[in-house]
Amino acid sequence: MMECQIKLNRAEDVQEFVNAASRCDFDIDIFYNRIVIDAKSMLGILSMDLSKVLTVKCHGENKDFGDVIAKFAVA
CATH of the domain at 42: 3.30.1340.10
Q: Which residues contact 38 (CB under 8 A, 6 or more apart)?
A: 27, 28, 29, 30, 44
pLDDT of 19: 96
Range of the domain at 42: 2-72
Query: Considering its fold, how many domains does the chain have in total?
Result: 1
pLDDT of 1: 85
* Chain-centre distance for alpha carbon 29: 7
pLDDT of 25: 94
**Considering the entire predicted model, what is its pTM?**
0.90
Q: What is the CA radius of gyration of the chain?
A: 11
Q: Above 90 in pLDDT, residue 75?
A: no
Tens-place pLDDT, residues 19-66: 999 999 999 999 988 899 999 999 999 999 889 999 999 999 999 999
User: How far, in Å, CA of 13 to CA of 41, rounded?
Assistant: 13
User: How far, in Å, CA of 15 to CA of 2, rounded?
Assistant: 21
